[in-house]
Structure 1
Amino acid sequence: MYLALYRKWRPKSFEDVLSQPHITTTLINEIKTGHIAHAYLFTGSRGTGKTTCSKILAKAVNCLHPVDGEPCHECECCRGIEDGSILDVVEIDAASNNGVDNIRELRDEANFTPVSCKYRVYIIDEAHMLSTGAFNALLKIMEEPPPHVIFILATTEVHKVPATILSRCQRFDFRRIKAEDIVAQLMKITESEEFSLTQEAAELIARLADGGMRDALSLLDQCVAFSSDITVEVVSSAAGIADREYLFEFHQAVMGRDPAKALALIDELYAKSKDLERLCEELINFYRNLMIIQTTARYKEIVLAVPEELARLEQLAGQLKLSQVIHCLTVLQDSIERFNKVGNKRLEFEICMIKLCSPNLDQSMDSILRRIDRLEAQLRSGVAIPAQQIPSAPPQTPPQQTEEPQPMQQDSAPPPAEEAPEPPSLGNSEREQRPVPLAAWGEILEDLADQSKSLYGILCNSQAFEMGEKLFIRSPNTAFAGMVQGKTALLSRIISDHTGKQYRLLMKGAKQQAAHSAVDEVLERAKQSGIDVIEE
């Protein structure tokens, strides 16, 4: 009969237990010196070795010929405990034997001396599942136990165990098994089994196991059933992490503010019987991966993804702000907490996606920060208000001459062409006949700040518009055009690095013509009044 890998390769001695030296060393020393406690509490996440160490400890304390604190595996007691024929070691599943009567029966049996071993050992698995009455019944015998009885409690939720029980046990906290230890064990198993496993596949299994050796071996068993040559692709298919394109499509809908696309995706996946709560969890993990990539350099050790998906996540993380990612995580987390409280899970998830696609509907601080980030990005690129949001302007009015709030001064000056250029003919395309804000101008200014402080100081409040092969730069600084002369080569090179294009640069101060007109008028009146004017 076939035996599952996690049962076949269960450790037989403390030496074989992975990533728990702080526990195994302590237990070995206690057995060597004979300082054995009457009650132990093993706690930790699943698959870390709690039940395994309980059985090894039961063998070690009863072994007739222990070897440096380890069981010999050859004496009558070791063999009997291993095959379950000795009744002095009792394993109890507290999930199904959690009543007062079960513990009272255990308490009555404990008073009898062991039949063939030195100690009667009770291993209570999932101890947190015991009822309050059962804990109270267990408390008295743990407080004053017979000298031949040892209790070993194993639990994944130690916070549910009463403090009165905790204070009577030696507590050992099991750590998650290190990924490198899991990989080494998987490769060791491969050498003895009839299948092959690549190093990359073993590393992916170790990350998916999340510190649990049993999970890793169960997944390996599943991969073996799929193919005897186990690669990253085989692991991805067996674990169900392949073909997750729909997560990227949801992200595109969220960033593109397209709720219609998001609802269409929900409808498509719902028709395929996709569990929406599981889908919400996958989206949370998707944005968690983006958050980790943005915040730590060691993200490859943490993020669970195949290499191709990881490359796409890296690209997306570089395009987003951390505040945007955190807002998405917050909305999704709030939604999944309400899933068990609502009758219509589809409606709850649809509301969640509409909130993500329409941040203006969400009044939370994270949503407000996300909208502020969007406005800042528009301002850096020279766009304060999108063109489609500008109210209807008179058709005969030329492009606005300046953004400075000085209407009286503007009326006396001719409209400068450079502020809103309208060339007579630059081509057949409508796009070539209309100036378009340069999207990368904010990044260009940031690059200038690093390479030329003086040039950045001149252009820091400027805006740039592209029109065909021309780039119009305008600034409220009336003398900036002259100040930029001699530095256009550096400016052209930086613009080319960011846009990949060579532009003809045109520069104009927003008030330059108005200022010259006012000066000329004063000089003309002085001459008419008979005042000597000397022009240099």
Structure 2
Amino acid sequence: MMSVRMLNMARRLRPTSFSEIKGQETSLSMLKNSLYLNTLFPTYLFTGQRGCGKTTTGRIFAAALNCELLPEFQKNPQISLPCQSCTSCQMMKKGEHPDFVEVDAASHTGVDDVRAMLEAASYVPLQGKMKIYLIDEAHMLSKAAFNALLKMLEEPPKTALFMLATTEFNKVPATVRSRCFQIHFNALAYETLMTFLQEIAQQENILLTTDAANSIITISEGCVRDGLNILEQISFVTKEITEEVVLKAMGMLPKEYFFAVIQKTFEKQPEKVLEYFEEKPLALANVPHFLHLLIHFFRGLIRVHYKVSLRSNIFAVNEKKLYELYEYVTIEDIHAMMRCLWEVEGILQSASQKEVVLEHLMIKIATRNFSSLSTDSSYLMHDEEPKKNIKAVSSSPVKKSSYETKAESKHSVTVQVQSEKKVKWKQFIESLSSKNRMLASIFQQAIPDESSEMPVLTILFSMKSAFFKEKIADSKDQWHPIFVAHFKGFTEIIISKVIIEQKASSVVQSSTSYGRENREVSGQHVSRLEKKILFKPDEWPQAAALVKEFPGTVEITDIVEKK
């Protein structure tokens, strides 16, 4: 005789009625009222993060629609629905109801699967009042499958009802979303999940401390299923669960260590920060979790500054410590540190040594260096050493006139700004290449406009390459996070059609201008005089032909060297 396998906690404790679902009062009210008023929509779209009750609610709603007590509920809404005792409810509980079909769209993505389902939906129910279809992970359906669904979702048979559940609402086509009644499921609030975990722990004879429950909530990010799975996982080790046990089991760093690193960082002691990292390398910890703690920590400091309650913050139990550390920084420092964190999130996506990036971030914060990390950390994405800038210095400098010094200073500032944009653009393309080579090759054909000002960067394509504009717009979700990480302060890209300029020249509008450069050649002083002349089409027929093909302006520079 085969032994019956015990279900895991998340499946065993799955709600079977509306009253057992936690933290989704608004969503449940919509569904219960539609049952009470007998006003049903042909298609429902359940959206929200993972593990917050979308699929469970769909099953309960399906059971209620075919429950024998539904007419009684419509007269008296105080009756519990579904009743879980009638024939229909019992069949739903066993997963044997002939009129309820749950489809996993992740494994049934094709148009043929959808057509088979639509054909079956046209038949009358076998036992219940309605045929109900629950399509889980609906965003995984192919484009052809969605198109096949459109007509049925808008006007299904009177005896059929569809429910779509998805964690990625933006991937569901707008044509489908417009045909659905959308119900959003929120991540569980901190207090709700805390109470729920403590109730379950008591039910399962587990001693769960408040600090341990707080750590589980932090890791699960408001997901009930993840919280239950973590609780059950750790209960296999011990029935007395403390914060230390949770952090050790999940590979996290203890808060004492986290606060010690923050303390030395705020005290501007980078050498002590490095000592802590040597003691417990970040490679042994969960780097995304450490970054997650940093974000919530600085978020908590902002609340301390504005004297707002920390009740919903994961550091609520460490409120006293937050007030102590707040004394080391100003609100401007906190905002600057937060900006660094957002930037690092983008860099971490493509970094091969994530722990080094985070270590580098903490050193920059300790030294109050809030400059862009994208340039400093770009070498970490390719396991290469950063290239050092080498400057050639003349052994016998020449004294320059005040006019020449002023002109050269102005010129050098311009070159520095221009080279910075181009360097960042090159780094952006290199980072993008590791994610999408085709996109990187498209961007490689463009150059950044040096006159661009934040927050919009204009990039220049040749006339022949301008058709890439549509491809760039369609793939924005792939390149935009990397672009923002490299171009601090810029949020958008605008594409402009221009000629491809020559490296040896730049576009000028003035008729004539002069510049002078002094240098040493074999011990002799050489004066280099540059004379920039306005382009005249009649005198330069070949250049005129180029301008006709590539609209723009041309600069001619006459260089004379005198010893």
Q: 1:304 to 1:162 in 2, by over 3 A?
A: same
**1:122, distance to aligned residue in structure 2 (A):** 1.1
Q: Is the 8 A contact 1:292 1:303 kept in 2?
A: no
TM-score, length basis structure 2: 0.57
Matched residue, 2:309? 298
Distance 1:263 1:254 in 2: 10
For the residue of structure 2 that corresponds to 1:171, the secondary structure is strand
For the residue of structure 1 that corresponds to 2:125, the secondary structure is coil
Q: 1:5 to 1:251 in 2, by over 3 A?
A: same
Distance 1:191 1:243 in 2: 25
Matched residue, 2:185? 174
Q: Is the 8 A contact 2:99 2:126 kept in 1?
A: yes
Structure 2: 5+ residue stretches without partners? 75-80, 374-563
Q: Is the 8 A contact 2:118 2:152 kept in 1?
A: yes
| Pairing partner for 1:46 from 50, 56, 69 | 50
CA distances 1:215-234 after superposition (whole Å, capped 9, x unpaired): 33223323432332445555
Matched residue, 1:13? 17
For the residue of structure 2 that corresponds to 1:48, the secondary structure is coil
Q: Is the 8 A contact 1:39 1:151 kept in 2?
A: yes
Residue 262 (structure 2) pairs with residue 251 (structure 1): yes
Distance 1:24 1:34 in 2: 15
Q: 1:353 to 1:163 in 2, by over 3 A?
A: same
CA distances 1:188-219 after superposition (whole Å, capped 9, x unpaired): 44554333445676566556654333233223
Q: Is the 8 A contact 1:89 1:120 kept in 2?
A: yes
Q: Is the 8 A contact 1:207 1:302 kept in 2?
A: no
**1:83, distance to aligned residue in structure 2 (A):** 1.2
Matched residue, 2:482? none
1:167 partner letter: S
Distance 1:276 1:190 in 2: 29
Q: 1:348 to 1:272 in 2, by over 3 A?
A: closer
After TM superposition, the structure 1 stretch with the greater mean CA deviation from structure 2, 134-143 or 178-187, is 178-187
Distance 2:276 2:351 in 1: 21
Q: 1:338 to 1:57 in 2, by over 3 A?
A: same
Distance 1:208 1:302 in 2: 15
Residue 66 (structure 2) pairs with residue 62 (structure 1): yes
CA distances 1:247-292 after superposition (whole Å, capped 9, x unpaired): 3343345334444444555455448544545544443344333333
Residue 96 (structure 2) pairs with residue 85 (structure 1): yes
CA distances 1:441-467 after superposition (whole Å, capped 9, x unpaired): xxxxxxxxxxxxxxxxxxxxxxxxxxx
Q: 1:330 to 1:29 in 2, by over 3 A?
A: closer
Matched residue, 1:162? 173
For the residue of structure 2 that corresponds to 1:172, the secondary structure is strand
For the residue of structure 1 that corresponds to 2:349, the secondary structure is helix
Residue 105 (structure 2) pairs with residue 105 (structure 1): no
Matched residue, 2:339? 330
1:20 partner letter: Q
Q: Is the 8 A contact 2:266 2:325 kept in 1?
A: no
Identify, as 1 or 2, the structure richer in strand: 2
Q: Is the 8 A contact 2:63 2:88 kept in 1?
A: yes
Matched residue, 1:362? 371
Matched residue, 1:287? 298
Radius of gyration: which is bigger? Answer: 1
Distance 1:290 1:239 in 2: 26
| Pairing partner for 2:140 from 121, 129, 134 | 129
Q: Is the 8 A contact 1:123 1:153 kept in 2?
A: yes
Q: 1:189 to 1:252 in 2, by over 3 A?
A: closer
Distance 1:21 1:271 in 2: 41
| Pairing partner for 1:71 from 67, 82, 87 | 82
Q: 1:214 to 1:276 in 2, by over 3 A?
A: closer
Residue 317 (structure 2) pairs with residue 312 (structure 1): no
2:325 partner letter: L
Matched residue, 1:484? none
Q: Is the 8 A contact 2:62 2:132 kept in 1?
A: yes
Identify, as 1 or 2, the structure richer in helix: 1
Distance 1:329 1:200 in 2: 26
1:15 partner letter: S
Distance 1:102 1:282 in 2: 44
Q: Over aligned residue pairs, what C-alpha RMSD do you find?
A: 3.2
The percentage of aligned residue pairs carrying the same residue is 34
1:221 partner letter: E
**1:164, distance to aligned residue in structure 2 (A):** 1.5
1:302 partner letter: S
Matched residue, 2:8? 4
Q: Is the 8 A contact 2:54 2:165 kept in 1?
A: yes
Distance 1:198 1:78 in 2: 38
Distance 1:217 1:247 in 2: 25
**1:175, distance to aligned residue in structure 2 (A):** 2.9
Q: 1:283 to 1:361 in 2, by over 3 A?
A: closer
Alignment of 1:440-459 (within 5 A): none
Number of residue-to-residue matches in the alignment: 362
Distance 1:283 1:180 in 2: 21
Q: Is the 8 A contact 1:122 1:151 kept in 2?
A: yes
For the residue of structure 2 that corresponds to 1:315, the secondary structure is helix
Distance 1:271 1:198 in 2: 26
Q: Is the 8 A contact 2:43 2:179 kept in 1?
A: yes
Distance 2:370 2:240 in 1: 51
Matched residue, 2:128? 117
1:193 partner letter: E
After TM superposition, the structure 1 stretch with the greater mean CA deviation from structure 2, 156-165 or 25-34, is 25-34
Q: Is the 8 A contact 1:31 1:61 kept in 2?
A: yes
**1:242, distance to aligned residue in structure 2 (A):** 5.8
**1:298, distance to aligned residue in structure 2 (A):** 0.9
For the residue of structure 2 that corresponds to 1:147, the secondary structure is coil
After TM superposition, the structure 1 stretch with the greater mean CA deviation from structure 2, 18-27 or 330-339, is 18-27
For the residue of structure 1 that corresponds to 2:39, the secondary structure is coil
**1:31, distance to aligned residue in structure 2 (A):** 2.1
1:331 partner letter: C
Distance 1:264 1:220 in 2: 33
For the residue of structure 2 that corresponds to 1:113, the secondary structure is coil
| Pairing partner for 1:340 from 344, 349, 359 | 349
Structure 1: 5+ residue stretches without partners? 365-536
Residue 158 (structure 2) pairs with residue 147 (structure 1): yes
Distance 1:271 1:201 in 2: 22
1:318 partner letter: E
Q: Is the 8 A contact 2:45 2:183 kept in 1?
A: yes
**1:28, distance to aligned residue in structure 2 (A):** 2.3
Q: Is the 8 A contact 2:244 2:254 kept in 1?
A: no
Matched residue, 1:370? none
Distance 2:353 2:247 in 1: 32
For the residue of structure 2 that corresponds to 1:151, the secondary structure is strand
Q: Is the 8 A contact 2:282 2:355 kept in 1?
A: no
